[in-house]
Amino acid sequence: MPTQHYRTETYLARNSVGYLLKRTHSQLADQLEPALEALGFTFTQWVVLMHLRDGLALNASVLCTQLRHDSGALTRVIDQLEARDLVRRERSRKDRREVQLQLTAAGQATVEAAIPAVVERLNFALGGFSAAELEALTRLLTKLTGMLEGLGAHQVAATPHGDAADRPREAGRSGSRS
Amino acid sequence: MPTQHYRTETYLARNSVGYLLKRTHSQLADQLEPALEALGFTFTQWVVLMHLRDGLALNASVLCTQLRHDSGALTRVIDQLEARDLVRRERSRKDRREVQLQLTAAGQATVEAAIPAVVERLNFALGGFSAAELEALTRLLTKLTGMLEGLGAHQVAATPHGDAADRPREAGRSGSRS
DNA sequence: GTCGAATCACTGCCTAAGCAGACACTGTCG
DNA sequence: CGACAGTGTCTGCTTAGGCAGTGATTCGAC
């Protein structure tokens, strides 16, 4: 039996991590998006580019799981980036179902050029945090994401309420349209 | 000049709080949604109901700022909940522009009945955390949300890239903060 | 080797989110 | 009183996200 973090009698939305994560993410996105938009990117596009830059994803499938994006939606994001010559698609020879992705020279340059503005905005937004606090937050979030990834397909613990749905979480989400 | 949390040369997407927040939120939502879906709610609807239950919002406008939701979108969420007789709209007598919201008896009962399942799922998902860790995470996120709320309208720091950066984004609604 | 299941990328469709504008109402200033 | 700015809610439009289904390919069982 896991730790009894929350209890029915004292559960309040505003103290719940779920709510706090949603809220902070949204707020931080609001801080970053204008900087990215000035450069012509959405947050999603940015993260895709960064992951490619960091070599964290070689194909769309990996990117999907990494970013937790819908594969269909991701296709459209890649479409946009490819249309702007920032990303190149290339069919793998080893497995011809797979499409390998990489930044073009222009994409590489664009990302590198954009980083300072993003970093600056991030630092500004986090101005009220000490280094120790940010470190702690990052550590906790990293641990949390690892934990939740481990849970994977939420095998719904036999809820007495019966029907519990079983979503095939594998396919990521997000994406965009042209 | 704020703390130099991130630096251009070492910035990596996967370590960035923005990315981590997005990722953890998405993962946690995946954990909770099936439980809510079994009860017929989306995450958004659930949070709306919880806020009404906790008396955190008396009208749509407050709810918008609390949840960082679009007022137009919120109208539709309320529509759905009202159609299911979970929420009641009532025009305020004091200020007839305002629509006061409250749970119906059925709404109240439904929310209360749903809490145990949500709490259980939340505890399950957070099983790997100690009480101290969750407490720390909650505290940091609460502080962060307060910090970011303070920043409010992100005044874009003059980007040397010239172009753009002039989104009137701040969408008037949700403006007044306590 | 063949058949069937699994995987990868992609396309359509549907719903939700975000934006802008409309309308109703309030409070203020002249 | 009447014009005007500000606020609260709601309605259309556009865009993005998520799901299901398709074609191509690979892998595994037999």
Q: Could you tell me the distance in Å between the CA of residue B34 and the C1' of nucleotide D11?
A: 31
Q: Which of A24, A117, A122 sits opposite B159 (nearest CB)?
A: A117
Q: What is the pLDDT of residue B150?
A: 77
SS3 at position B89: strand
Q: Could you tell me the distance in Å between the CA of residue B119 and the C1' of nucleotide D2?
A: 57
Q: What is the pLDDT of residue A148?
A: 92
Question: What percentage of chain B exceeds 70 in pLDDT?
Answer: 84
Q: Does A32 touch chain B (CB under 8 A)?
A: yes
The answer to whether the beta carbons of residues A134 and B143 sit under 8 Å apart is: no
- HSE of A72 in the Cβ direction (CA atoms, 13 Å)? 0
Q: What is the pLDDT of residue A2?
A: 61
Q: What is the pLDDT of residue B3?
A: 76
Q: What is the pLDDT of residue A58?
A: 83
Q: What is the pLDDT of residue A47?
A: 94
Residues of chain A with pLDDT under 50: 154-178
Q: What confidence tens digit (pLDDT) does each residue in B99-140 have?
A: 999 999 999 999 999 999 999 999 999 999 999 999 999 999
Q: What is the pLDDT of residue B2?
A: 60
Q: Could you tell me the distance in Å between the CA of residue B70 and the C1' of nucleotide D13?
A: 15
Chain A positions touching B38 (Cβ under 8 A) are 156, 159, 161-165
**Whether B24 and A148 lie within 8 Å, measured CB to CB:** yes
- Residues 6+ positions from B88 with CB-CB distance below 8 Å: B82, B101, B102, B103, B104, B107
Q: Does A11 touch chain B (CB under 8 A)?
A: yes
**What does the alpha-carbon distance between residue A85 and residue A57 come to, in Å, rounded to a whole number?**
18
What's the pTM value of the predicted model, to 2 decimals? 0.84
Which among B48, B177, B41, B55 has a CA at the least distance from the CA of B121? B41
SS3 at position B90: strand
Put simply, the chain A residues between 103 and 142 with a CB less than 8 A from any chain B CB are 113, 115-131, 133-134, 136-138, 140-142
**What does the alpha-carbon distance between residue B154 and residue A97 come to, in Å, rounded to a whole number?**
43
Q: Which residue has the higher pLDDT, A175 or B12?
A: B12
Q: What is the pLDDT of residue A149?
A: 87
Q: What confidence tens digit (pLDDT) does each residue in B157-175 have?
A: 443 343 333 333 333 333 3
Chain A positions touching B121 (Cβ under 8 A) are 154, 156-157
The answer to whether the beta carbons of residues A35 and A28 sit under 8 Å apart is: no
**Range with the lowest mean pLDDT among A33-37, B9-13, B53-57, B90-94?**
B53-57
The answer to whether the beta carbons of residues A13 and B138 sit under 8 Å apart is: no
**Whether A137 and B13 lie within 8 Å, measured CB to CB:** no
Q: What is the pLDDT of residue A153?
A: 53
Q: In chain B, which ranges are continuous DSSP H helix?
A: 17-38, 43-53, 60-67, 71-83, 105-125, 131-151
The answer to whether the beta carbons of residues B132 and A11 sit under 8 Å apart is: no
**Whether A157 and B11 lie within 8 Å, measured CB to CB:** no
Which residue in A has a C-alpha nearest to residue B144's C-alpha?
A24
- HSE of A88 in the Cβ direction (CA atoms, 13 Å)? 9
Q: What is the pLDDT of residue A13?
A: 87
How wide is the angle at C-alpha B8 spanned by C-alphas B5 and B12, nearest 5°?
80
